[in-house]
A and B are shown apart, each in its own frame.
Chain A
Amino acid sequence: MRLIARIGQWFDRRLQLAAPVREIAEHRVPRSTASWWYVFGSAALVVFILQIVTGIMLALIYVPSASEAWSSLQTLNHDVTLGWFVRALHGWGSNFMVAIVLIHMVQVFLFGAYKFPRELTWVVGVFLLLMTLGMAFTGQILRFDQDAYWGLGIGASITSRVPIVGPALVKLLLGGPIIAGATLSRFFALHVFVIPGLLIAFVSLHLLMVLKLGINEWPMPGRLVRKATYESQYQELTKKDGAPFVPYAVWKDLLFAAIIVASIAACAAYFGPFGPTGEPDPTIIQTVPKPDYFFLWLYALLALLPPSLETPAILIGSVTVIAALLLLPFLFGEGEKSWRRRPIAVLTILLIAVSLGSFTHLAGYTPWSPEMNAWSGEPVPQDFLRGRTALERQGALVFQGKQCRNCHALERKGGQRGPALDTVATRLTQDQLIRQVLQGRGNMPAYGNNLSPAETTALVAFLETLHPAGAQPARDASRPIGDGPGGEMK
């Protein structure tokens, strides 16, 4: 023991680190902050360290070349001992990190921790969020498979919409005229050097400010933040009702971080690594590209925005959201901190959570996309054919053959792009059906050029049978009058 102490002293005499480290560890924090709500920041840091370690491990094998990246991932998955597990740790670590950073941000927002004097801590935190998302996106690109390839295509298409400099930005992003070798190399540089370097610098800054300014106290309703008095009040609080961070509060951070890392390991072991999906060969077009979980909401949003609103929404919307986040502490730097007295803050969080959740849920089954194989894979339900005339049955054939089923479901089977047609005859009259089929409308293409008159007649005859047994089909009240004298039906 004595020897260890002497070695320690020898080093400390030269490094002189023991005193400042002890000071940091034992700095006083308000007792109220030794709470389970205050563990997310440190957990994010621990997951970040896990990402660095597993990332370096992966870099030992991974080849950042468009011609070899995919096969080096196969090597990692199948050839290298526990390569699959390290990939899975890195992939699940990424998901956990995004989630924890978001939860941390929500907690900070609801606890009013961004208010004076911690405005800059929040601003740096916003950049940390953007960098975390940047890491998630560039990481998805390094998993150089079909999703990565077409994801880059989506990224390039969005970038190209920037006015004036869009096309130049695309070439800068791709490193050339197309998605190819140079593209992967620069995303590798971003994912491995640029963003992690910035992350380490910004995390250090973030931590430094937390130490210098002190952790945000538990917000008490009615205790308002005033620039003139806050700092002295906080000092008094830590003096009167404070305790050293180590060990008073740190044990909760340690316990939570351990649980998170164990959860990541459990997910990695149980679910395994993400992909890679098919080889990034752009001539394989039978593919349905999808982004990773945390970008699914964006994928859904891009499908659902009206076409004319899309470009402004992407370009102005993203800038507005980031600007709003950055300006938040300057606009609301004083006043009430407690969420109990900030209903708009709580509602904003709920609204964002419900919106993102709904979009993510929708992106899970993409109702806006035609189901490419429904026409050949889902037969017309028997009930729709029993007792029908030859013409109507011929119409059912046209219905399948012209791939109406890809967008329109019958008995819940088929695409969801257009409305289900089980009861279409109760909504549209014969004339309306003919018009809709031939001319299209809304999101339906016109089929006039692709259907012969005989096919149209048969198809509409079939569609007219699509109503519940007891219900009358829709009819045009004026038609009997127009059709013949005396108003009798023809």
Chain B
Amino acid sequence: MANQNTISRRALLMKLGILLNGLVALVLAVPIVRFFFSSVTRGRGNGYRSWVSLGSVNQFPEGETRLATFRNPYVTPTDGKTVDTACWVRRIQADQLQVFAINCAHLGCPVRWFPQSGLFLCPCHGGVYYRDGSRAAGPPERGMFEYPNKVEDSVVWIQAGELPTPGFSAGNLEKRRPCA
């Protein structure tokens, strides 16, 4: 029987074994955790966003709002049709445009434009917006999400790439709209 101040060879080896396993687990945890959070870290510094073309500005008549579609800039081979994205383009005049995300600022359902009443209506929970995207009625707390846009050589470009959500509206960092 070993006295209290000594440690048996077996006990030492067992503790060494546990320690070694702990170390290996720790070393292995680093790549696994990095893999798990890769979709978050990759998007840091707006890594997901880039300028996307919507085509010629002339397909959008002045004073009207039209549906446009674009392919999300970040694509993987199994995405299928989910990378095709819709947006509403409002051409105010000449090169002055507003490009709204299709997603309602409430919970992301696809809003529809009704030129007759000049309103965007959401089919899910009844969110309503005016033609300039500001909130008109219903549960949304803010106006519609807007993509930053520019017109170069008569081609409309928008900065897109992320699903706009109420917590973080894609491409709208510059001008967050408070409740209209």
- Tell me whether A and B are bound partners: yes
Inter-chain CA distance A311–B82, complex, in Å, is 28
**Contact across chains for B110 and A445 when beta carbons are under 8 A apart:** no
Beta-carbon nearest neighbor of B130 in chain A: A445
Which of A91-99, A166-174, A241-249, A419-427 lies at the binding interface?
A166-174
Task: Answer whether residue A181 sits at the interface, using C-beta atoms and an 8 A cutoff.
Answer: yes
**Contact across chains for A181 and B136 when beta carbons are under 8 A apart:** no
**Contact across chains for A156 and B124 when beta carbons are under 8 A apart:** no
Beta-carbon nearest neighbor of A291 in chain B: B124
Determine which of B49, B80, B125 lies in contact with A303 in the assembled complex, contact meaning CB atoms within 8 Å. Answer: B125
**Contact across chains for B40 and A171 when beta carbons are under 8 A apart:** yes
Which of B10-18, B51-59, B70-78 lies at the binding interface?
B70-78
Task: Answer whether residue B112 sits at the interface, using C-beta atoms and an 8 A cutoff.
Answer: yes
**Contact across chains for B78 and A170 when beta carbons are under 8 A apart:** no
Task: Answer whether residue B128 sits at the interface, using C-beta atoms and an 8 A cutoff.
Answer: yes
Task: Answer whether residue B163 sits at the interface, using C-beta atoms and an 8 A cutoff.
Answer: yes
* Contacting residues, chain B, for A289 (C-beta < 8 A): 109, 123-124
Task: Answer whether residue B121 sits at the interface, using C-beta atoms and an 8 A cutoff.
Answer: yes
Beta-carbon nearest neighbor of B137 in chain A: A443
- The proximity string for A residues 442-477 relative to B, scoring 1 for CB distances below 8 Å and 0 otherwise, is 111111011000000000000000000000000000
* Contacting residues, chain B, for A168 (C-beta < 8 A): 40
Inter-chain CA distance A149–B126, complex, in Å, is 19
* Contacting residues, chain B, for A401 (C-beta < 8 A): 116
Task: Answer whether residue A107 sits at the interface, using C-beta atoms and an 8 A cutoff.
Answer: no
Task: Answer whether residue B61 sits at the interface, using C-beta atoms and an 8 A cutoff.
Answer: no
Which residues of B20-72 are within 8 A (CB) of A?
37, 39-40, 42-43, 48-49, 67, 69, 72
Contact residue range for chain A? 35 or more
| Closest Cβ–Cβ distance, residue A153 to chain B (whole Å) | 3
**Contact across chains for B124 and A282 when beta carbons are under 8 A apart:** no
Task: Answer whether residue A232 sits at the interface, using C-beta atoms and an 8 A cutoff.
Answer: no
**Contact across chains for A282 and B76 when beta carbons are under 8 A apart:** no
Beta-carbon nearest neighbor of A418 in chain B: B137
Inter-chain CA distance A321–B3, complex, in Å, is 55
**Contact across chains for A157 and B108 when beta carbons are under 8 A apart:** yes
| Closest Cβ–Cβ distance, residue A244 to chain B (whole Å) | 45
Inter-chain CA distance A116–B141, complex, in Å, is 46
Which residues of A140-190 are within 8 A (CB) of B?
149-150, 153-154, 156-162, 166-168, 170-172, 174-183, 185
Given the contacts A65-B78, A150-B109, A282 and B86 also touching, CB distance less than 8 Å: yes
- The proximity string for B residues 113-145 relative to A, scoring 1 for CB distances below 8 Å and 0 otherwise, is 010111101111110101100001111110000
Inter-chain CA distance A224–B129, complex, in Å, is 59
Inter-chain CA distance A154–B165, complex, in Å, is 9
Task: Answer whether residue A382 sits at the interface, using C-beta atoms and an 8 A cutoff.
Answer: no
| Closest Cβ–Cβ distance, residue B166 to chain A (whole Å) | 6
Beta-carbon nearest neighbor of A400 in chain B: B116
| Closest Cβ–Cβ distance, residue A169 to chain B (whole Å) | 8
**Contact across chains for B108 and A445 when beta carbons are under 8 A apart:** no
Given the contacts A174-B163, A176-B39, A449-B118, A369 and B69 also touching, CB distance less than 8 Å: no
Given the contacts A160-B166, A174-B39, A369-B123, A443 and B138 also touching, CB distance less than 8 Å: yes
| Closest Cβ–Cβ distance, residue B179 to chain A (whole Å) | 8
Task: Answer whether residue A280 sits at the interface, using C-beta atoms and an 8 A cutoff.
Answer: yes
| Closest Cβ–Cβ distance, residue A394 to chain B (whole Å) | 16
Inter-chain CA distance A150–B106, complex, in Å, is 12
Inter-chain CA distance A375–B157, complex, in Å, is 35
**Contact across chains for A180 and B72 when beta carbons are under 8 A apart:** yes
Inter-chain CA distance A125–B139, complex, in Å, is 35
Beta-carbon nearest neighbor of B116 in chain A: A403
Given the contacts A182-B39, A310-B139, A170 and B110 also touching, CB distance less than 8 Å: no
| Closest Cβ–Cβ distance, residue A317 to chain B (whole Å) | 15
**Contact across chains for B124 and A178 when beta carbons are under 8 A apart:** no
Determine which of B37, B69, B111, B121 lies in contact with A283 in the assembled complex, contact meaning CB atoms within 8 Å. Answer: B69
| Closest Cβ–Cβ distance, residue B44 to chain A (whole Å) | 9
Task: Answer whether residue A480 sits at the interface, using C-beta atoms and an 8 A cutoff.
Answer: no
* Contacting residues, chain B, for A446 (C-beta < 8 A): 136
Task: Answer whether residue A325 sits at the interface, using C-beta atoms and an 8 A cutoff.
Answer: no
Residues in A lying within 8 Å of B, measured CB to CB: 65-68, 70, 149-150, 153-154, 156-162, 166-168, 170-172, 174-183, 185, 279-283, 285-289, 299, 302-303, 305, 307-308, 310-311, 366, 368-370, 372, 375, 401-404, 406, 417, 440, 442-447, 449-450
By Cβ-Cβ distance, the 4 closest A-B pairs, closest first, are A67-B80, A160-B167, A153-B108, A160-B165
Residues in B lying within 8 Å of A, measured CB to CB: 37, 39-40, 42-43, 48-49, 67, 69, 72, 74-86, 102-103, 106-112, 114, 116-119, 121-126, 128, 130-131, 136-141, 161-163, 165-168, 170, 179
Can you list 26 contacts pairing A with B, beta carbon distance less than 8 Å?
A65-B80, A153-B108, A153-B109, A154-B108, A156-B108, A161-B167, A170-B167, A176-B42, A177-B49, A178-B85, A181-B80, A279-B81, A282-B84, A283-B85, A286-B112, A289-B109, A307-B139, A307-B140, A366-B126, A368-B125, A370-B128, A372-B112, A375-B116, A445-B119, A445-B136, A449-B118
